Amino acid sequence: MSAVDLTGQVALVTGGAGGIGAAAARRLAELGARVAVLDLDAAGAQRVVSAVGGIAVAGDVADPATMPAVVAQVEAELGRLDVVLLNAGIGGGQTGVDALDVDRYRRLVGVNVDHVVYGVCAAVPALRRQGGGKIVITASLAGLTAMSSDPLYTLTKHAVVGYARAAGAALAGEGITVSALCPGFVDTLLLGAAKEEFDAVEFPLLTPSDVAEALQSVLAGGQPGEAWTIQPGGQASAYRFRGVPGVGGGQLPPDVVLGRV
């Protein structure tokens, strides 16, 4: 496992009351960080904080006022901000290909996409005050491939992977590393009724602890704009994107597209 020492640092985890977020908060605390846990479930956030220390904050990440207020609170109460895990997310809950519940769709985009943008924009000034830092966005393998069972969820995760790649390049020169973490299916409440189907065919699932371990690998070795994958029984690693078509039919390598060279 990659070594990471966060002693003296402060981390913020959104969607931290359960599942991946709670496991990540525990891992960050084990690595030495003081952790702020943000969740709509105030009691759940407090339970996590009671076990790891830090502060619990209740709030709706889809509200544009929440992330700036939370970052300000973290700096005021914990003194700084060094690591941000933008983890809050929900499932699509509808096909989105032949009918659309607009309110549910807007809620999905608000939590899965808008919150990530709000979170990055709120966190970057705080990270600049420390001379740099790390932002990791919890995406999904659905951000790298098509998941036909939930096209709208796939849409949101493709969006945040693209945002992480571009934001990572934009901020790399400031010592702020933005990257995405793209796990396969994880045994959390987000699976819903699909959990029984996976169990019936003995489909291997990641645990939240597996994803927290992958997060540690990203913090240790992740480069700006990377998307890291993790699957059951495997090691976390950076996904190798193909280059885009260039003039005359050739391909531009990813590093050129990302502005690294």
- CA distances, 143 to each of 62, 182, 183 (Å): 20, 7, 10
For the question of residue 153 being annotated catalytic, the response is yes
Q: Of these residues, 105, 118, 153, 239, which one is catalytic?
A: 153
Return the DSSP state at 145.
Answer: S
DSSP secondary structure code for residue 111 in this structure: I
Q: At what angle do helices 19-30 and 42-52 cross, to 10 degrees?
A: 20
CA atoms within 13 A on the CB side of 217: 21
Q: Residue 234: CB partners within 8 Å, gap ≥ 6?
A: none
> Is the distance from CB of 136 to CB of 220 less than 8 angstroms?
no
Enter the DSSP assignment of 181: E
- What are the phi and psi torsion angles at 166 (to 5°)? -75, -45
Q: Which two tokens stand for residue 115?
A: 């919150």
The full set of domains in the chain, from first to last, is 10-257 (3.40.50.720)
What does each of the 261 residues of the chain score in pLDDT, given as a tens digit? Answer: 578 999 999 999 999 999 999 999 999 999 999 999 999 999 999 999 999 999 999 999 999 999 999 999 999 999 999 999 999 999 988 989 999 999 999 999 999 999 999 999 999 999 999 999 999 999 999 999 999 989 999 999 999 999 999 999 999 999 999 999 999 878 777 766 677 676 767 667 889 999 999 999 999 999 999 999 999 999 999 999 988 777 666 666 665 554 554
* Element containing residue 180 per DSSP (H, E): strand 176-183
Question: How far is residue 259's CA from residue 97's CA, in Å, rounded to a whole number?
Answer: 35
